[in-house]
Amino acid sequence: MSDFLMPSLGADMEKGKVVEWLKKPGDPIARGDVVAVVETQKGAFEIEAFEAGILGEILVPVGVEAPVGAVLARIDGPGAAPRPAMAAPAPPRPAIQPVASPPPRPAQIATGRPRISPAAARRAIELGVDTRGLSGSGPGGAIAIADVEAAARKPAAPQPSAPPTGTPGPRRGFDPAAMRQAIATAMARSKREIPHYYLSLPIDMGIASEWLAAENARRDVERRLLPAALLLKAVALALRAVPELNGFWVEGAPRLSPSIHVGWAIALRGGGLMAPAIHDADRLTLDQAMAALRDLTTRARVARVRGSEMMDPTVTVTSLGERGADSVFGVIYPPQLAIVGFGAPRITALPVGDAIRPRPVVQATLAADHRASDGALGSRLLATIDRHLQRPESL
| C-alpha count within 13 angstroms, C-beta hemisphere, residue 170 | 14
Q: Has residue 194 been placed in a domain?
A: yes
Do 181 and 67 belong to one domain?
no
Do 68 and 193 belong to one domain?
no
Pairing of strands 277-278, 273-274: unpaired
Domain at 46, CATH number:
2.40.50.100
pLDDT at residue number 139: 61
Domain that holds residue 364: 177-394
pLDDT tens, position by position, 46-95 = 899 988 999 999 999 999 999 999 999 999 976 544 444 333 333 333 33
Do 196 and 71 belong to one domain?
no
Q: How many domains does the chain have?
A: 2
Last residue of a domain, one of 14, 44, 76: 76
Q: Has residue 116 been placed in a domain?
A: no
Q: Has residue 115 been placed in a domain?
A: no
pLDDT at residue number 42: 76
Q: Has residue 47 been placed in a domain?
A: yes
Higher pLDDT, 273 or 386: 386
Do 46 and 195 belong to one domain?
no
pLDDT at residue number 381: 98
In this prediction the pTM is: 0.71
Domain at 356, CATH number:
3.30.559.10
Do 212 and 324 belong to one domain?
yes
Give the CA diameter of the chain: 87
Last residue of a domain, one of 53, 76, 99: 76
Q: Has residue 358 been placed in a domain?
A: yes
Do 55 and 192 belong to one domain?
no
Least confident of 181-190, 202-211, 308-317, 329-338: 181-190
pLDDT tens, position by position, 344-374 = 999 999 888 888 999 999 999 999 999 999 9
Spacing of C-alpha 98 from chain mean position: 26
Q: Has residue 382 been placed in a domain?
A: yes
For residues 225 and 290, the answer to whether their CB atoms sit within 8 Å is yes
Do 204 and 70 belong to one domain?
no
Do 193 and 332 belong to one domain?
yes
pLDDT tens, position by position, 199-229 = 999 999 999 999 999 999 999 988 999 999 9
Q: Has residue 114 been placed in a domain?
A: no
Average pLDDT over residues 252-259: 96
pLDDT tens, position by position, 19-53 = 999 999 999 999 989 999 998 887 788 899 988 99
| Confidence category of residue 146, pLDDT binned at 50, 70, 90 | confident
Mean pLDDT over the full length of the chain? 82
Q: Has residue 93 been placed in a domain?
A: no
Last residue of a domain, one of 60, 76, 92: 76
Q: Is residue 175 pLDDT above 60, yes or no? A: yes
